[in-house]
Chains A and B, each alone.
Chain A
């Protein structure tokens, strides 16, 4: 009887990816492609969003901040979900690579959350007349930033790094409850923040000339995330496995 790995190549690939030498080779091979694609799509998206797209009839030019703000906001939640998933895998199955990916997600997610909050403030002033309001969407996004800081802080607070990672994973899993709060806050409460403009199901209330740059920049943000995640994870892996033969072989080969 053939094993599941022989039947399903995707499953086999996932299994192989858990091996540090394989992951190192994969990251080294694909990182430049992800980085280049992210850079190219960012350039195209910024040109379409900041030069080609027309000004909004109500908000004028300042609405263009959505081309940075919205992809960052999506990424801040997506990365948290992925971080918590890796944290759960690391907690349950003690897979080293999942632990590394979990810890590598946190600073990138914190960066996207900070971009979301700052660009939101810069959009809020000309649109609402204020940089900040303690409404449900803004407050729950700020809570997300504190959760990322909590995960980073807790992971480095223990002398035993693996014990720190496990404590941080528990915090990350508890914090998942904040994700639906962020997403549905504009529906559940009467907030200053506008409702969803781009919808996965149903018609989006945004003109295609504005939607396309937004989607291109959202794809660029995803590709950037993969690039940054591979960079961080590869560095941590090399640090942890520096005494192993495969590290010497890999560095000896590639310099």
Chain B
């Protein structure tokens, strides 16, 4: 894989750097966003149960 990357030249390294950064940002953002969504849904469900 590294041989393939080295054959792509300078823009290969740049593109890989951009893709890896985008993936790491997604890995940083998505889990807390999903956790909060799930939590809000649980709290709302409990509120409905208590009201009903």
Chain A residues proximal to chain B, CB less than 8 Å: 50, 60-62, 64-65, 68-69, 72, 107-108, 111, 114-115, 118-119, 122-123, 125-126, 131, 224, 228, 231-232, 234-235, 238-239, 242, 247-248, 251-252, 255
12 interchain pairs (CB within 8 A)? A68-B18, A69-B17, A111-B24, A119-B20, A122-B14, A126-B10, A231-B33, A235-B32, A235-B36, A239-B35, A251-B47, A252-B47
B10 — which chain A residues lie within 8 A by C-beta? 60-62, 126
Contact A118 B17 (CB under 8 A): yes
For the complex formed, measure the closest distance between the CB of A180 and the CB atoms of chain B, giving whole angstroms: 26
A111 — which chain B residues lie within 8 A by C-beta? 24-25, 27-28
A248 — which chain B residues lie within 8 A by C-beta? 43, 47
If A50-B14, A231-B29 touch, whether A115 touches B36 (CB-CB below 8 Å) is no
* Interface SS, A side: helix
If A231-B33, A235-B35, A251-B47 touch, whether A122 touches B16 (CB-CB below 8 Å) is yes
Provide the bound-state CA to CA distance between A148 and B40, in Å: 28
Q: For chain B, which range describes its interface: under 10, 10 to 19, 20 to 34, or 35 or more residues?
A: 20 to 34
Provide the bound-state CA to CA distance between A101 and B50, in Å: 32
Q: Which residue of the partner chain, among B14, B21, B43, contacts A115 with CB atoms under 8 Å?
A: B21
If A107-B28, A238-B43 touch, whether A125 touches B14 (CB-CB below 8 Å) is no
Provide the bound-state CA to CA distance between A28 and B10, in Å: 42
Q: B1-51: which have CB < 8 Å to A?
A: 2, 6, 10-11, 13-14, 16-18, 20-21, 24-25, 27-29, 32-33, 35-36, 39-40, 42-44, 47
B47 — which chain A residues lie within 8 A by C-beta? 248, 251-252
A62 — which chain B residues lie within 8 A by C-beta? 10, 13-14
B17 — which chain A residues lie within 8 A by C-beta? 65, 68-69, 118-119, 122-123
A119 — which chain B residues lie within 8 A by C-beta? 17, 20-21
If A232-B32, A238-B36 touch, whether A115 touches B13 (CB-CB below 8 Å) is no
If A68-B18, A242-B39 touch, whether A126 touches B13 (CB-CB below 8 Å) is yes
Provide the bound-state CA to CA distance between A60 and B18, in Å: 17
